């Protein structure tokens, strides 16, 4: 099985690829994960983006990423597309449903599709299991468990806020670990999926449920 995953940024790639594989009911999966910046290198024809029907710029961007991902699907003969979009303090359910509306707008029925929508962002999921964070070091400087990771939010420009990325960076600073793709991937590799489902039941719970049908039988709802 070959899957194309569209991720927002480079720090999402490793973590989401790991979580995807850990949640998949089968293990024989090849994943081609591309960031937004990488997908922008694929040129689209004007006819591929019906701008006259889409006034919302954010939706226009999302449709373009789906279109570009479809190019990769056709090129490598993939079975489906997974699109990652952080809900980012928006209504999780609305973001999730909007992605599926655009999937249905762009993709043929033969292409499987999966919406990966962390509430509020990938770092929220990475904050769920404090043991995974502490596994980055020997435990001599233990990190305390974060509050409910699906409700953490704050000013992105304030390093002391509860903005999930800033919260995780402070955890890593305490451990003397750099925030980058490698550290995020390590946390994902050591995260207990049952803990993640328990502490992020809204968004990760949806992702886990969708993964079972996406991999086994076809399209997630």
Residue 109 shares a structural domain with residue 204: yes
Q: Which helix (H) or strand (E) holds 181?
A: helix 181-190
Residue 77 shares a structural domain with residue 11: yes
Q: Which structural domain range is residue 180 located in?
A: 123-195
Residue 106 shares a structural domain with residue 207: yes
Residue 60 shares a structural domain with residue 154: no
Residue 169 shares a structural domain with residue 206: no
Calculate the alpha carbon distances from 171 to 5, 29, 125, 200, 209 in Å. Answer: 28, 32, 14, 19, 29
Q: Residue 34 maps to which CATH number?
A: 3.40.50
**Which residues in the chain belong to E strands, given as ranges?**
2-7, 30-35, 80-84, 112-116
Tens-digit pLDDT string for the chain (221 aa):
899 999 999 999 999 999 999 999 988 899 999 999 999 999 998 888 766 556 677 888 899 999 999 999 999 999 999 999 999 999 999 999 999 999 998 999 999 999 999 999 999 999 999 999 999 999 899 999 999 999 999 999 999 999 999 999 999 999 999 999 999 999 999 999 999 999 999 999 999 999 999 986 544 44
Residue 116 shares a structural domain with residue 176: no
Q: Is 90 exposed, middle or buried (0-12, 13-18, 19+ CB in 10 A)?
A: middle
Whether residue 8 lies inside any domain: the answer is yes
Residue 96 shares a structural domain with residue 203: yes
Whether residue 221 lies inside any domain: the answer is no
- CA 47, distance to chain mean position in Å, is 28
**Which residues in 46-165 belong to E strands, given as ranges?**
80-84, 112-116
Residue 203 shares a structural domain with residue 112: yes
DSSP 1-22: -EEEEEESSHHHHHHHHHHHHH
Query: Domain tally for the chain?
Result: 2
């Amino acid at each position: 099985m070959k899957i194309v995953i569209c991720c927002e940024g480079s720090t999402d790639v490793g973590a989401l690829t790991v979580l995807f594989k850990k949640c998949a009911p089968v293990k024989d999966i090849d994943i081609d994960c591309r960031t937004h910046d990488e997908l922008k290198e694929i040129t689209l024809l004007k006819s591929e983006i019906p701008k006259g029907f889409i006034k919302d710029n954010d939706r226009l961007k999302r449709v373009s990423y789906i279109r570009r991902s479809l190019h990769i699907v056709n090129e490598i003969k993939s079975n489906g597309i997974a699109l990652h979009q952080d809900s980012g303090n928006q209504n999780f359910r609305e973001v999730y449903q909007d992605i599926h509306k655009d999937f249905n707008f762009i993709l043929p029925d033969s292409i499987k599709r999966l919406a990966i929508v962390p509430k509020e962002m990938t770092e929220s999921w990475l904050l769920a299991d404090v043991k995974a964070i502490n596994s980055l070091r020997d435990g001599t400087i233990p990190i305390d468990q974060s509050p409910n990771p699906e409700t953490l939010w704050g000013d992105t420009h304030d390093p002391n806020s509860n903005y999930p990325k800033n919260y995780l960076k402070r955890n890593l600073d305490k451990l003397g670990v750099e925030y980058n793709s490698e550290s995020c991937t390590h946390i994902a590799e050591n995260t207990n999926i049952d803990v993640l489902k328990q502490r992020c039941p809204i968004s990760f719970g949806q992702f886990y449920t969708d993964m079972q049908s996406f991999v086994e039988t076809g399209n997630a709802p």
